[in-house]
């Protein structure tokens, strides 16, 4: 009980120093909580790299918003922030995987497929991908046409694997949206 009270007092002091832009205090706080937060976050996400990204965000947010945050218990704040950010990341990853599986299983009704005969789907796909930002388009082509892994793409561009995943998600979302519009138009005109 006494030890926990001393820790809380130390946290209050560390937070006061951090609010005065003391980098050393921030480093102490980081070193004090990193391991416990990492284990906690990795258990939620079941992904060590993603857990590191989450903790980077949590500590970055603490440093950036140190003047705005009203924190009563630093330990509680860090664990709640890590949990919330983990859940948010977990939902993004699950949504991305779901989105990819939907696109992979996308099949058109036979009457729509016959209407698509006059449209070169590859041309449409190329036009849609040309409207993507250059880096996003390059990542998409490397992944889907040249069959590079996300890790290979990340190394090629010197970016994180998570950034590659986000770019692929954005590209697929854009393509899916564009193809939905095309299919909708085909449905409208095929019923006439």
Domain contains 23: yes
Question: Pick the residue with more confidence: 14 or 115?
Answer: 14
pLDDT tens track for 142-161:
988 888 999 999 999 999 99
pLDDT tens track for 83-123:
888 878 867 765 555 545 544 544 444 444 444 444 556 67
Domain contains 117: yes
pLDDT over 80 at 61, yes or no:
yes
Last residue of a domain, one of 42, 66, 94: 94
Alpha-carbon distance values, 181 to 31, 52, 115 (Å): 51, 38, 15
Using only the alpha carbons of the chain, give its radius of gyration. 24
Question: Pick the residue with more confidence: 16 or 105?
Answer: 16
Query: Quick one: pLDDT at residue 118?
Result: 46
Domain contains 124: yes
Cβ-proximal residues to 38 (8 Å cutoff; 6+ apart), any chain: 51, 52, 55
Last residue of a domain, one of 94, 126, 148: 94
- Both 40 and 122 in one domain: the answer is no
pLDDT over 90 at 191, yes or no:
no
Last residue of a domain, one of 29, 60, 94: 94
- Both 162 and 184 in one domain: the answer is yes
- Both 111 and 85 in one domain: the answer is no
pTM for the model stands at 0.47
| CATH number of domain containing 63 | 1.10.1740.10
Domain contains 102: no
pLDDT tens track for 28-37:
999 999 999 9
Domain contains 99: no
54-63, 71-80, 117-126: the lowest-pLDDT one: 117-126
Domain that holds residue 141: 107-190
pLDDT > 70 fraction of the chain, expressed in percent and rounded: 75
CA–CA separation, 174 and 53 (whole Å): 25
Domain contains 42: yes
- Both 85 and 120 in one domain: the answer is no
- Both 73 and 6 in one domain: the answer is yes
Q: How many domains does the chain have?
A: 2
CA–CA separation, 146 and 55 (whole Å): 33
């Amino acid at each position: 009980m006494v030890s926990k009270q001393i820790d809380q007092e130390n946290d209050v002091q560390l937070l006061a120093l951090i609010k005065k832009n003391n980098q050393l205090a921030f480093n102490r706080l980081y070193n004090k909580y990193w391991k416990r937060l990492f284990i906690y976050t990795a258990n939620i996400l079941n992904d060590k790299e993603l857990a590191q990204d989450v903790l980077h965000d949590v500590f970055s947010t603490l440093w950036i918003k140190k003047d705005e945050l009203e924190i009563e218990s630093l330990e509680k704040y860090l664990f709640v922030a890590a949990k919330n950010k983990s859940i948010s990341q977990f939902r993004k990853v699950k949504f991305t995987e779901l989105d990819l599986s939907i696109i992979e299983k996308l099949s058109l009704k036979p009457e729509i497929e016959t209407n698509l005969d006059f449209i070169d789907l590859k041309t449409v796909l190329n036009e849609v991908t040309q409207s993507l930002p250059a880096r996003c388009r390059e990542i998409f082509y490397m992944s889907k046409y040249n069959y590079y892994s996300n890790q290979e793409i990340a190394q090629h561009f010197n970016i994180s694997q998570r950034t590659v995943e986000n770019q692929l998600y954005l590209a697929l979302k854009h393509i899916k949206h564009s193809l939905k519009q095309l299919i909708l138009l085909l449905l409208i005109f095929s019923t006439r």
